[in-house]
C-alpha cells in the first residue's frame, strides 16, 4: 500500500523524469542531440501519466471525484501516447509544480537552482495562465494532425475531453479562453463577413460566450 509520503516521492520523481526527458526534446529544437531522438516517446508520456495517476490514487475509493478531476482526463490523454509537441503546456505546468516542491524541501532549497524556483513560484499564476493559453491554442493543431494522420483519433478525442472538463471546472482555464477570444474579437473585424459569421456561429454553438463572459462580469 502506498503511503502519502511514498506517493509524493514517486510524484516528484515522475515529474522530474518528465521534465528531464522533455527538456532534451526542447533542446533538440536548438542543438542537434542525436541521443534525444533515440528516446522512445512513450517513456516521456508514461512518466507524466504516472504523475497524474499518483494525484488520483488517494481518491481511488471515490469514483465521482475521479470522474470530475481534470487529472483523470490528463491521464487518459497521455495514455494515448500523443506526439511530444502536445506536451508543451504540461511541461510548463510540471516545472511550476516541481518548483513549489523545491523551495519547501529542506535539502533541495539549499541548492543554487532553488533561487530560480523561487522566481517561478512567485510568478506561478502568470506562468500557469501561459500554459493554459498554449493548451487551448493547441486545439486546431491537434485536430489538424489527427485529420492528416500525424496523430491518432484517440489523441484528438481525449484532448477534447480534457479541454471540455477543464473549461467546466477550472476558472483559470476559462479566463485563458477569454483572453484568446478577446484577441480574436479584435482581429475578426478585418476578415470577410462570411468568416465573421462563421466565427460568431461557432462561438454561440459552443456556448463559450456564456461560460466565459459571465466570469469576466463576476470579476468586475
Q: Identify whether residues 196 and 210 lie together within a single domain.
A: yes
In-domain check, residue 67:
yes
Q: Is the per-residue pLDDT at 220 higher than 50? A: no
Q: Identify whether residues 162 and 207 lie together within a single domain.
A: no
Mean pLDDT of all residues in 20-26: 90
- Please give the backbone phi and psi of residue 122, each rounded to the nearest 5 degrees, phi first: -65, -35
Q: Identify whether residues 151 and 200 lie together within a single domain.
A: no
- Does residue 135 contact residue 163 with C-beta atoms inside 8 Å? yes
Window from 40-44, 74-78, 140-144, 202-206 with minimum mean pLDDT:
202-206
In-domain check, residue 49:
yes
Q: Identify whether residues 131 and 203 lie together within a single domain.
A: no
CA dist list (Å): 78 to 51, 55, 116, 129, 169? 11, 14, 28, 21, 20
In-domain check, residue 1:
no
Mean pLDDT of all residues in 149-161: 95
Tally of domains within the chain? 2
Q: Identify whether residues 112 and 163 lie together within a single domain.
A: yes
Angle of helix 41-56 relative to helix 4-27, nearest 10 degrees, comes to: 150
In our burial notation (b when 16+ CB lie closer than 10 A, e otherwise), range 93-121 reads bbbbbbbebbbeeeeeeeeeebeebeebb
Mean pLDDT of all residues in 138-153: 95
In-domain check, residue 13:
yes
Q: Identify whether residues 156 and 99 lie together within a single domain.
A: yes
How does the average pLDDT of the chain come out, rounded? 86
Q: What is the pTM assigned to this prediction?
A: 0.85
In-domain check, residue 2:
no
- Residue 71: give the domain boundaries: 7-189
Window from 15-29, 37-51, 177-191, 199-213 with minimum mean pLDDT:
199-213
Which is nearest to 216 in space by CA: 185, 178, 167, 184?
Answer: 178
Strands (E) across the chain are located at none
Window from 22-26, 134-138, 203-207 with minimum mean pLDDT:
203-207
In our burial notation (b when 16+ CB lie closer than 10 A, e otherwise), range 4-41 reads eeeeeebbbebbbbbbebbeebeebeeeeeeebeebee
- What's the confidence (pLDDT) of residue 36? 66
Q: Identify whether residues 88 and 33 lie together within a single domain.
A: yes
In-domain check, residue 198:
yes
pLDDT tens per residue across span 55-71: 999 888 888 889 999 99
Q: Identify whether residues 132 and 204 lie together within a single domain.
A: no
- What's the confidence (pLDDT) of residue 2? 66
- What's the confidence (pLDDT) of residue 163? 95
Q: Identify whether residues 35 and 117 lie together within a single domain.
A: yes
Rounded distance between C-alpha atoms, residue 184 and residue 143, angstroms: 19
Q: Identify whether residues 146 and 37 lie together within a single domain.
A: yes
- What's the confidence (pLDDT) of residue 112? 74
Residue 30 — very low, low, confident or very high, per pLDDT cuts 50/70/90? confident
Q: Identify whether residues 48 and 133 lie together within a single domain.
A: yes
Q: Identify whether residues 147 and 89 lie together within a single domain.
A: yes
Residue 217 — very low, low, confident or very high, per pLDDT cuts 50/70/90? very low
Amino acid at each position: 500500500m502506498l503511503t502519502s509520503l511514498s506517493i509524493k516521492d514517486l510524484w516528484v520523481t515522475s515529474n522530474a523524469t518528465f521534465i528531464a526527458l522533455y527538456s532534451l526534446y526542447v533542446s533538440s529544437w536548438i542543438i542537434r542531440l542525436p541521443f534525444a531522438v533515440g528516446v522512445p516517446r512513450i517513456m516521456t508520456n508514461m512518466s507524466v501519466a504516472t504523475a497524474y495517476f499518483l494525484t488520483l490514487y488517494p481518491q481511488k475509493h471515490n469514483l465521482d471525484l475521479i470522474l470530475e478531476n481534470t487529472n483523470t482526463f490528463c491521464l487518459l490523454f497521455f495514455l494515448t501516447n500523443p506526439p511530444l509537441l502536445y506536451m508543451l503546456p504540461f511541461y510548463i505546468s510540471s516545472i511550476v509544480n516541481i518548483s513549489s516542491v523545491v523551495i519547501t524541501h529542506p535539502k533541495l532549497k539549499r541548492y543554487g537552482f532553488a533561487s530560480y524556483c523561487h522566481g517561478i513560484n512567485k510568478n506561478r499564476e502568470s506562468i500557469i495562465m501561459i500554459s493554459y493559453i498554449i493548451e487551448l491554442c493547441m486545439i486546431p493543431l491537434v485536430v489538424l494532425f489527427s485529420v492528416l494522420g500525424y496523430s491518432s483519433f484517440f489523441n484528438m478525442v481525449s484532448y477534447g475531453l480534457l479541454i471540455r472538463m477543464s473549461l467546466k471546472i477550472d476558472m483559470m482555464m476559462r479566463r485563458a479562453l477569454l483572453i484568446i477570444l478577446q484577441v480574436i474579437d479584435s482581429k475578426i473585424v478585418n476578415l470577410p463577413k462570411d468568416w465573421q459569421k462563421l466565427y460568431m456561429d461557432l462561438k454561440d454553438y459552443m456556448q463559450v460566450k456564456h461560460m466565459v463572459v459571465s466570469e469576466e462580469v463576476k470579476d468586475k
